[in-house]
Structure 1
Amino acid sequence: MSFLKAEWRKLVMVNYEIDPEILKPYVPKGTELDFFEGKCYISLVGFMFLNTKLLGVKIPFHVNFEEVNLRFYVRKAFDEGVKRGVVFIKEIVPKPAITFIANTIYNENYETLPMKHSWETSNDSVNVTYQWKKNNSWNSMAIQAENRLNEIQPNSVVEFIAEHYWGYSKKNAKETTEYEVKHPRWKYYPVKQHSVEVDFKSNYGDEFEFLNQANPNSIFLLEGSEISVEDKIVLK
């Protein structure tokens, strides 16, 4: 049985080029930074968890909720090839029980904060906003996109950012946690306009303050799908 099943829907992905030296202290043992066309990326991602089940059970008041995370991209070589995965700097949710489970079992860095979202759909456009409150100030990321879904093309930057099926985290200096995320290939909405109002220093630390003034390299809105998160294993 999968550890967690849910739907991840309306994923906003705001992607920045970053100096790989900033990320090296966060890279779990046994993995290495992944690059697209010579560039190292970090992404601010907001989406909804819907119909969430933990070990097959819906937990009251923890079925539908927002998440915003800051993540980067790694590779792990193994006998059959390469696994492409993500590492999270921090994941923000509005539910303390989710934070406790993720931090305790999956060695992630979750934080519980007040959150809200807005979805508006018309014949022509899809408008998605995610907000979270840190130090009495609201942060937000908002997208206006065309209301038509496109296939993700092979070897595109959309594929590099969106199509990852493994999660990695540092258990300690010598051990790495690995888990699989299963979902079908996603589709995306063409983005028309965006707004990012985030205090990266307050949310993620001094080394990410430069993102306050940085312009995103790319911005995506993906429809998402049903997903499953499998049990973790510890790599030594």
Structure 2
Amino acid sequence: MSFLKAEWNNLAMINYEVNPQILQKYVPKGTEIDFFNGKCYVSFIGFLFENVRVLGMKIPFHSDFEEVNLRFYVRRFENGVWKRGAVFISEIVPKYAISFVANTFYNEQYQTLPMKHNLKVNESSREFIYQWKVKGIWNTIHVETNKNPIPIEVDSEAEFITEHYFGYTKINEKETFEYQVTHPRWQQLEVINNTSEIDFETVYGPEFAFIRELKPTSVFLAIGSKITIEDKRKI
């Protein structure tokens, strides 16, 4: 039985190229940074975590919520193949119990903050808004997209960002948790306007303040799907 079954829906993905040296201290043992065309990426993602079941059970008042996370990409060579995964620097949710379970059982970096979202359907576009409050100020992911889904092209940056099917967590300098994430290949909505307002320094600390001055390499909306998260193993 999967540890968790749920849906990840309406994933607004804002992606930046960064110097890989910034991320080295976060790289779990047994993995290395995964590059796309020689570029190292971090992604800032807002989405809806819905219909959550843990070990088959639906937890009252904790089955549908927003999440915002900051992640980067790694790979691990095992049994003759590369396993491609993500490492989460920070994950923000609105429920304390979610943070407790994730931090306790998966050693993740969850924190609990006030959050809200709004999805709008306009005459010729859609809008996706995710907000979270830090020190009394609302931060916002706000993207406007075309209405019609389009494929995520093979060998594209969007494919690189979305097609990572493992999670890796640094326990300490010698140990790593690995868990598998399953989902079908996603479609996307093309972003036509990005008016996000994020105080990176307040949310993520001084070491990530520089992101505010960067222009995203890409912004897109992955439609999402049902997913599973399998039980962790120590490597």
After TM superposition, the score normalised by the length of structure 2 is 0.98
- After TM superposition, list the pairs within 5 Å mapping 1:21-36 onto structure 2: 21-36=21-36
Alpha-carbon separation, structure 1, partners of 2:4 and 2:126: 28
2:114 matched residue in structure 1: 114
Amino acid at match of 1:185: R
Identity rate, percent: 54
2:62 matched residue in structure 1: 62
- After TM superposition, list the pairs within 5 Å mapping 1:139-154 onto structure 2: 139-154=139-154
Amino acid at match of 1:169: T
1:213 matched residue in structure 2: 213
Alpha-carbon separation, structure 1, partners of 2:210 and 2:95: 29
Q: What is the RMSD computed on CA atoms of the aligned residues?
A: 0.8
1:52-90: CA deviations, max 9, x gaps?
A: 111111111101100000000001011131011000000
Stretches (4+) displaced over 3 A: none
Alpha-carbon separation, structure 1, partners of 2:209 and 2:191: 25
Alpha-carbon separation, structure 2, partners of 1:85 and 1:150: 24
Give the number of aligned pairs.
235
Give 1:123 shift: 5.0
1:182 matched residue in structure 2: 182
Greater shift in the superposed pair: 96-105 or 206-215: 206-215
Greater shift in the superposed pair: 120-129 or 90-99: 120-129
1:233 matched residue in structure 2: 233
Secondary structure in 2 matching 1:158: helix
Alpha-carbon separation, structure 1, partners of 2:136 and 2:193: 27
Alpha-carbon separation, structure 2, partners of 1:195 and 1:165: 29
2:157 matched residue in structure 1: 157
1:82 matched residue in structure 2: 82
Gaps of 5+ in 1: none
1:198 matched residue in structure 2: 198
Alpha-carbon separation, structure 2, partners of 1:153 and 1:78: 27
- After TM superposition, list the pairs within 5 Å mapping 1:46-57 onto structure 2: 46-57=46-57
1:35-56: CA deviations, max 9, x gaps?
A: 1111100010000011111111
Secondary structure in 2 matching 1:196: coil
Alpha-carbon separation, structure 1, partners of 2:138 and 2:122: 26
Gaps of 5+ in 2: none
1:4 matched residue in structure 2: 4
2:37 matched residue in structure 1: 37
Give 1:126 shift: 1.4
Greater shift in the superposed pair: 75-84 or 86-95: 75-84
Secondary structure in 2 matching 1:38: coil
Alpha-carbon separation, structure 1, partners of 2:103 and 2:211: 25
Secondary structure in 1 matching 2:223: strand
Amino acid at match of 2:22: I
Give 1:122 shift: 3.7
1:96 matched residue in structure 2: 96
Alpha-carbon separation, structure 2, partners of 1:85 and 1:148: 29
Alpha-carbon separation, structure 2, partners of 1:151 and 1:80: 30
Secondary structure in 1 matching 2:90: strand
Amino acid at match of 1:13: M
Secondary structure in 2 matching 1:202: helix
Alpha-carbon separation, structure 1, partners of 2:163 and 2:121: 25
Secondary structure in 2 matching 1:190: strand
Secondary structure in 2 matching 1:192: strand
